[in-house]
Amino acid sequence: MTADAQVDVIVVGSGPSAVNAAYPLVEAGFTVRMLDVGNRDTTYEKLIPDAGFSELRRTDAQQYRYLLGDEFEGIGFGHTGAGAQLTPPRQYVCKDTERLQPIASQSFFPLQSLAEGGLGGAWGAGSPPFSKADLAGFPISLEDLQPHYEVVADRIGVSGARDDLMPFLGAQFAMQPAVEIDSNAEAILRRYATHRGSLNRTGLFLGHPRIAMLSRPHRGREANRYRDMDFWSDAGKSVYRPRWTLDELRAFPNFSIVSRRLVRTFEERADGDVVVHAANVDGGGTEQHRARTLVLAAGTLGTTRIVLRSLGLFDRRVPIVCNPHSYAALLDLNTLGQPVRDERHSMAQFCLVHAPEGHLRPFTVGHFYSYRSLLLFRLMKDNPLPFRESLTIMRHLAPSFGVLILQHQDHPTADKHCSLVASDVGEDRLAVSYDLSVREQAQIDAIEADIARGLRRLRCLKLKTMRPGHAASVHYAGTLPMSAKDEELTTDKHGRLHRTRAIYVADGSVFPSLPSKGLTFTMMANADRIGCHVRSTLRA
């Protein structure tokens, strides 16, 4: 067992929440040590040429290695579940999690990460801020978050437009102009523009998404090059990855990162220090790290494990929430047989909001993706036609094909909980039980039926709805919710774990519920807010 020199703050994790919690502390001159497992892609990144998708498909003889994977891990046959869109070059984000972060569940199979940058190494970069309505039930307000949204929007680079979605998505001053959209989305938005009034009256609104992807060069990163390579490669760094912030942090002498460490427990000592116990995942030994304050940002499920284990609360149930998720396969009749532009990015092309009761009441948000760079064989796999004809049909329809990803709001109920189960051999398992009530499912079905009707008016035909399972949105939250009450296993409004002195939680664990939006941008803003709060307590 080794002990390292004391630092001001230890941050656990290197994902979106960790790097954004660390930033204000490092900037202020405090010594910050990041402890992380830090898996990386050592195989594929270097193989992918700096070229557009169409070009490399024509020219690169090695493409099969990264498109299919050296172990053919890009060809899967199972159920379309969490992480369905992870291409071989992105799959490193989940490496080792089955072994080191086992889950026991009948219904909830989450994606977890032990990678440098966490799941942020593969995320879709959708970055809508929460609105006032979205924050109902949180002990913090939009005003609390607003300055941190600004700071983080500048740090990570968010693009978007001030369009019909303003009341639902808001905007930051730092927001860059929207990235260009593809021919498919353009045709749908044109049709929306001609039917705007009537569609808005039914509660349907369309516009540009907020994406952490650059339309202008920023902080040493390039604007998107519209090469449709965003699912495969980070060349140009247009899409935000926590690694970019980590690179900035590494330039500070008061910041250090210790990789290959799996944090197991923390304890608060009588002398006021926090001691963190971590295992070396390569060597197997354990070591102690000392700090004045600990910030946990190991992802909701990772942090929950560390907290329950540290407090010895095995088998104790905590709530969990996760946006129910569905994919609707759409055919855009507006573009059938039409020429389409080759230049495009691969992320969400437009955002759809279903808000029959207006922006002050809960509403549902969806993102539309066109389909190309994920390859045709994946579409054909699920198509019950003879393959030869399927290939002809798919080649002709795919330019007009799209996927609308809907994420529904989620609130804690008695049927959604998890607990840590001790294990004699191997790692403790996180047992998760998650079920939607009949009422919740009926609400989802009604919303989706309503959206399908609106889509038909936009000449988008819904071909099929896929429900990839409860954990598939990869938006996990609510296990250690912020609460005004001083209760065990909750956090205060600054993310401090109640009944501790200096243990803070900066990831999704602290969100009491989830609106119908990706949580990560808000989580990063909240992590920055928590980092700023820790900074002022350390100064005091």
Partner 1 sequence: MVATSRPRTIAAAAPHEDAALLRHEAVWFARYLVDAIPEAALVERYVQANARLFAGPPTAGDAAILAFLHAHPWTLALLDAGTAFAHGAPLLRQKLVVMMAILEATPDFVDQTSQVDGVGLPLLAWRLGRAGAVAALKLVTGTALAAVVTRGTR
Ligand X SMILES: Cc1cc2nc3c(=O)[nH]c(=O)nc-3n(C[C@H](O)[C@H](O)[C@H](O)COP(=O)(O)OP(=O)(O)OC[C@H]3O[C@@H](n4cnc5c(N)ncnc54)[C@H](O)[C@@H]3O)c2cc1C
Q: Pick out residues in 237-266 that bind ligand X (CB under 6 A).
A: 261-263
Rule CB under 6 A: say whether 124 interacts with ligand X.
yes
Spell out the residues 6+ positions from residue 505 whose beta carbon is closer than 8 angstroms to its own.
Answer: 295, 296, 297, 303, 307, 480, 491, 495, 496, 497, 530
Residue 208 token pair: 């540009």
Rounded CA-CA distance 348/362 in Å is 22
Residues paired with residue 460 on neighbouring β-strands, in sequence order: 332
Rule CB under 8 A: say whether 232 interacts with partner 1.
no
428: DSSP letter = P
Angle between helices 16-27 and 520-539 (to 10 degrees): 30
Query: Phi first, then psi: what are they for 292, rounded to 5°?
Result: -80, -30
Binds ligand X (CB under 6 A): choice among 246, 519, 530, 534: 519
Q: Pick out residues in 56-95 that bind ligand X (CB under 6 A).
A: 83, 85-86
Task: Residue 36: name its binding partner from partner 1, ligand X, none (Cβ under 5 to 8 Å by kind).
Answer: ligand X
Rule CB under 6 A: say whether 518 interacts with ligand X.
yes
Cβ–Cβ contacts within 10 Å for residue 362, how many?
A: 17
Cβ–Cβ contacts within 10 Å for residue 467, how many?
A: 14
Q: Pick out residues in 296-325 that bind ligand X (CB under 6 A).
A: 297-299, 302, 306
Rule CB under 6 A: say whether 165 interacts with ligand X.
no
Closest to partner 1 by CB, 54 vs 286, is 54
Residue 174 token pair: 């730092």
Rounded CA-CA distance 203/358 in Å is 7
Rule CB under 8 A: say whether 76 interacts with partner 1.
yes
Closest to ligand X by CB, 45 vs 450, is 45
Spell out the residues 6+ positions from residue 497 whose beta carbon is closer than 8 angstroms to its own.
Answer: 307, 480, 489, 490, 491, 503, 504, 505
Rule CB under 6 A: say whether 119 interacts with ligand X.
yes
Rule CB under 6 A: say whether 480 interacts with ligand X.
no
Binds ligand X (CB under 6 A): choice among 353, 379, 455, 474: 474
Per the CB < 8 A criterion, the answer to whether 409 and 519 are in contact is: no
Q: Minimal distance in Å, beta carbon 453 to ligand X?
A: 26
Spell out the residues 6+ positions from residue 338 whose beta carbon is closer than 8 angstroms to its own.
Answer: 183, 187, 399, 400
Binds ligand X (CB under 6 A): choice among 8, 10, 15, 160: 15
Question: Shortest CA distance to 84 belongs to which of 290, 311, 379?
Answer: 379
Q: Minimal distance in Å, beta carbon 402 to partner 1?
A: 9
Rounded CA-CA distance 266/139 in Å is 26
Closest to ligand X by CB, 199 vs 528, is 528
Rule CB under 8 A: say whether 272 interacts with partner 1.
no
Rule CB under 6 A: say whether 35 interacts with ligand X.
yes
The window from 79-87, 158-166, 448-456, 517-525 that contacts partner 1 (CB under 8 A) reads 79-87
Closest to partner 1 by CB, 81 vs 167, is 81
Q: Minimal distance in Å, beta carbon 94 to ligand X?
A: 8
Specify the pairing of strand 103-104 against strand 321-322.
unpaired
Rule CB under 8 A: say whether 60 interacts with partner 1.
yes
427: DSSP letter = S
Q: Pick out residues in 423-442 that bind partner 1 (CB under 8 A).
A: none
Per the CB < 8 A criterion, the answer to whether 108 and 432 are in contact is: yes
Rounded CA-CA distance 130/117 in Å is 23
Q: Pick out residues in 381-400 that bind partner 1 (CB under 8 A).
A: 381-382, 384-393, 395-399
Task: Residue 395: name its binding partner from ligand X, partner 1, none (Cβ under 5 to 8 Å by kind).
Answer: partner 1
Q: Is the dihedral of CA 461, 463, 468, 470 positive or negative?
A: positive
DSSP string, 238-286: -B--HHHHHHHHHTSTTEEEE-SEEEEEEEE-TTS-EEEEEEETTT--E
Q: Buried b / exposed e across 38-57, counting CB within 10 Å, b at 16+?
A: bbebebbeeebeebbbeebe
Rule CB under 6 A: say whether 16 interacts with ligand X.
yes
Q: Minimal distance in Å, beta carbon 442 to ligand X?
A: 26
Rounded CA-CA distance 350/189 in Å is 8
Q: How many residues bind partner 1 (CB under 8 A)?
A: 62
Closest to ligand X by CB, 188 vs 212, is 212
Q: Minimal distance in Å, beta carbon 465 to partner 1?
A: 12
Q: Minimal distance in Å, beta carbon 321 to ligand X?
A: 13
Binds partner 1 (CB under 8 A): choice among 28, 329, 421, 538: 329
Q: Minimal distance in Å, beta carbon 42 to partner 1?
A: 19
Rule CB under 6 A: say whether 123 interacts with ligand X.
yes
Task: Residue 393: name its binding partner from ligand X, partner 1, none (Cβ under 5 to 8 Å by kind).
Answer: partner 1
The window from 7-15, 41-49, 310-318, 425-433 that contacts ligand X (CB under 6 A) reads 7-15
The window from 41-49, 224-232, 294-302, 443-451 that contacts ligand X (CB under 6 A) reads 294-302
Question: Shortest CA distance to 171 belongs to which of 188, 150, 156?
Answer: 150
Cβ–Cβ contacts within 10 Å for residue 116, how many?
A: 25
311: left (phi over 0), alpha (psi -120 to 50) or beta: alpha
Residue 394 token pair: 């798919």
Binding site for partner 1 (CB under 8 A): 54, 57-61, 63-64, 67-68, 71-81, 83-85, 87, 327, 329, 336-340, 369, 371-372, 374-382, 384-393, 395-399, 403, 405, 466
Which residues of this chain interact with ligand X, rule CB under 6 A? 12-18, 35-37, 83, 85-86, 111, 113-115, 118-120, 122-126, 261-263, 297-299, 302, 306, 474-475, 507-508, 518-521, 523
